């Protein structure tokens, strides 16, 4: 279908087991692709690609929009910090790939949504830093009450009334499902914090006001079928393709 925008989904590199196999794999929870497809988009899985670190346009030319997904902690070396003992599972290969895509996607004004880790990658790509362990800095574990599950991990986020985040969510008080132990510290260049947790005012939405759709959210809209965020990204990707005079999917 000519109106199905192609949305790139960056995949993690993790060890996985299936059948008789136990081997490194490129993984992404299927909820991300399901949400893109429900919204009328084509989901294209993007494994880390060393060549794309230097030439990200080769991949971005294929896309109408980009989603950076959740996953393991960003390597503190990417923002000039020493690792905290609770910073785990870092993968510099994935970090370099996603930082390159995020930087170039913003430059090209490609519709972009960063989810959880993806929001943190966006912040680091713009020169920002991260808090490496919220239970230490904020004194509680309410952003990840149950490890490995979203059950009981919900809370409200206040979204600025005129923000892209509020327009995409369709409301200013938004119930979110979270699962993270890190967060934004120093905010990256040009980014504006437009959402705060009601728990502790932690930044939970950041955006670039001078771009048509560059948004990072600290929660997981892909696991909430009532969320409008991923659909908003797909709609924006479709509109951008139309504005540029080409059918969606022909980026």
Question: What average pLDDT does the structure give for the chain?
Answer: 94
Report the alpha-carbon distance of residue 159 to residue 193 in Å, rounded.
Answer: 9
26 catalytic, yes or no? no
Within 13 Å, how many C-alpha atoms sit on residue 73's CB side?
A: 23
Stretch 166-190: mean pLDDT: 95
Interior CA angle at 237 toward 232 and 240, to 5°? 125
- Local structure of 82: helix, strand or coil: coil
Report the alpha-carbon distance of residue 116 to residue 221 in Å, rounded.
Answer: 10
Domains plus CATH for the chain?
A: 6-243 (3.40.50.880)
Task: Using the predicted structure, report yes or no on whether residue 180 has a pLDDT greater than 90.
Answer: no
Report the alpha-carbon distance of residue 230 to residue 67 in Å, rounded.
Answer: 9
Choosing from 116, 174, 207, 236, the catalytic residue is 116
10 catalytic, yes or no? no
Choosing from 98, 204, 207, 222, the catalytic residue is 222
172 catalytic, yes or no? no
Report the alpha-carbon distance of residue 84 to residue 133 in Å, rounded.
Answer: 7
Report the alpha-carbon distance of residue 55 to residue 52 in Å, rounded.
Answer: 4
Report the alpha-carbon distance of residue 177 to residue 223 in Å, rounded.
Answer: 8
Please, are residues 138 and 202 in contact by the beta-carbon 8 Å criterion? yes
DSSP for 24-35, written as a single string: EEEE--HHHHHH
Lowest mean pLDDT among 80-84, 140-144, 222-226: 140-144
- Looking at residue 47, its pLDDT comes to 97
What letter does residue 222 receive in the DSSP assignment? G
Of residues 145 and 61, the one with the higher pLDDT is 61
Of 117, 166, 108, 107, whose CA–CA distance to 12 is shortest?
117
Give tens-digit pLDDT for 232-246.
999 999 999 998 877
Task: Using the predicted structure, report yes or no on whether residue 2 has a pLDDT greater than 90.
Answer: no
């Amino acid at each position: 279908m000519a109106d199905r925008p192609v949305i790139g989904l960056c995949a993690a590199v993790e060890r996985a087991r299936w059948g008789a196999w136990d081997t490194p794999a490129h993984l992404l929870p299927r909820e991300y692709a399901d949400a893109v497809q429900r919204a009328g988009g084509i989901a294209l899985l993007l494994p880390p690609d060393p060549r794309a670190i230097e030439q990200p346009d080769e991949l971005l030319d294929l896309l109408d929009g980009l989603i950076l997904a959740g996953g393991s902690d960003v390597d503190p070396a990417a923002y000039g910090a020493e690792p905290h003992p609770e910073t785990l599972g870092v993968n510099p290969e994935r970090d370099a790939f996603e930082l390159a895509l995020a930087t170039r996607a913003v430059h090209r004004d490609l519709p972009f949504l960063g989810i959880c880790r993806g929001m943190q990658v966006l912040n680091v790509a713009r020169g920002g830093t991260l808090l490496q362990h919220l239970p230490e800095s904020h004194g509680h574990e309410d952003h990840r009450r149950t490890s490995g599950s979203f059950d009981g991990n919900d809370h409200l986020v206040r979204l600025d009334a005129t923000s892209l985040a509020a327009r995409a969510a369709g409301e200013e008080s938004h119930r979110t499902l979270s699962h993270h132990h890190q967060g934004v510290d120093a905010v990256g260049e040009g980014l504006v914090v437009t959402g705060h947790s009601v728990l502790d005012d932690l930044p939970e939405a950041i955006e670039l006001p001078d771009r048509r759709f560059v948004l990072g959210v600290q929660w997981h809209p892909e696991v909430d079928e009532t969320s409008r965020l991923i659909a908003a990204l797909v709609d924006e990707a479709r509109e951008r393709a139309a504005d540029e005079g080409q059918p969606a999917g022909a980026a």
